[in-house]
Amino acid sequence: MKAIVVDTPGGPEQLKLVEAPKPEPKAGEALVKIAAAGVNFIDIYYRTGLYKADPPIALGMEGAGVVEAVGPAVTEVAVGDRVAYAMCRGSYADYQVVPAWQLVKLPDGIDFATAAAAMLQGMTAHYLTHSTFPLKEGDTALIHAAAGGVGLLLVQMAKMRGARVFGTTSTEAKAALARQAGADEVILYTEQDFQAEVRRLTEGRGVDVVYDSVGAATWEKSLDSLRPRGMMVSFGNSSGAVPPFAPLVLSQKGSLFLTRPSLAHYCQTRQELLWRAGDVLNWIAAGRLKIRIDRTYPLVEAAQAHRDLASRATAGKLLLLPE
């Protein structure tokens, strides 16, 4: 089979297409023939070495396809099932062995591309809006990168929960996408000071929560956009990691709360996984949640997919499609 690996952390040029033996599932595992794999910033973090892994580093944290074989003691899925999964590294490949408990059967009407585009980012948006800071009617939320893959889903779910949503984007074209997703106000951070705009739009109060996947570039002004006792949810580093800071800063800025969550900690059991994935996939099937696939690439073009994602010129999901 073909797979993408990284021998030495670094730039996109470190992504190598290699031939590898087809893996065999062990007890509790299933072999999935991958039809589509999602491209996410976490893949870039592993490629660059920000997140550590032993080489050769397999990439890809989500995929969708068909179960081709199962190991002993597997009860969750069967051969021939259409499935999707997230948070199991190695989906940049023709095949992947996945713990069976992490596989979710696809509803009728959900194709593989949509499923691969929905799993990691959809469940991320779900835990952020339903668990990390459970939004309720009347809450105000600032969502950075509101036209990105997670951002568009976050906006939609925040509106489902009854929140007033402020989104930031870099261009008017992206702002239009955020508005279509339901954002009440969109701030072009390339032209406006988003902190000043948030304060103006909230009559000086600040927002209840900031969902920030950008990291270093937005850190200070995100904190300054919160109301007293508001929550800063830092869940990504697309502009670089947040530098070290003193916890006293949180007190000085209004007794703020700070969390740095991970999807893995919000899908620790199969019950929780099925809740989040079930909501996401069923909302898509019912037309309540829209997935925007921006671009697709053959596996051999994984490096270009990474360049495009890092350029912040995309809006929506990027996918790799193994042959």
Q: What domains appear along the chain, each with residue ranges and CATH number?
A: 2-120+267-321 (3.90.180.10), 136-260 (3.40.50.720)
The answer to whether the CB of 151 falls within 8 A of the CB of 143 is yes
Q: Tokens representing 310?
A: 């890092």
pLDDT values of the chain reduced to their tens digit, one per residue, 323 residues:
999 999 999 999 999 999 999 999 999 999 999 999 999 989 999 999 999 999 999 999 999 999 999 999 999 999 999 999 999 999 999 999 999 999 999 999 899 999 999 999 999 999 999 999 999 999 999 999 999 989 999 999 999 999 999 999 999 999 999 999 999 999 999 899 999 999 999 999 999 999 999 989 999 999 999 999 999 999 998 888 899 999 999 999 999 999 999 999 999 999 999 999 999 999 999 999 999 999 999 999 999 999 999 987 788 899 999 98
Q: Tokens representing 18?
A: 């290699």
Q: How far apart are CA 107 and CA 24, in angstroms?
A: 26
Per-residue pLDDT, 125: 98
pTM exceeds 0.85 for this model: yes
DSSP 139: -
Instruction: Using alpha carbons only, give the angle 305, 56, 25 rounded to the nearest 5 degrees.
Output: 95
The answer to whether the CB of 305 falls within 8 A of the CB of 298 is no
Smallest CA-to-CA distance from 168 within 193, 149, 139 is with 193
Question: What are phi and psi for residue 132, nearest 5 degrees?
Answer: -60, -55
Q: Tokens representing 181?
A: 């997703």
Question: What are phi and psi for residue 13, nearest 5 degrees?
Answer: -65, -15
Q: Tokens representing 270?
A: 């199969």
Smallest CA-to-CA distance from 182 within 207, 151, 206 is with 151
Question: What are phi and psi for residue 170, nearest 5 degrees?
Answer: -95, -20
- In the chain, the amino acid numbered 281 is L
Question: What are phi and psi for residue 186, nearest 5 degrees?
Answer: -125, 130
The answer to whether the CB of 155 falls within 8 A of the CB of 167 is yes
Q: How far apart are CA 231 and CA 129, in angstroms?
A: 12
> What is the length of the chain?
323
Smallest CA-to-CA distance from 199 within 210, 215, 183, 211 is with 210
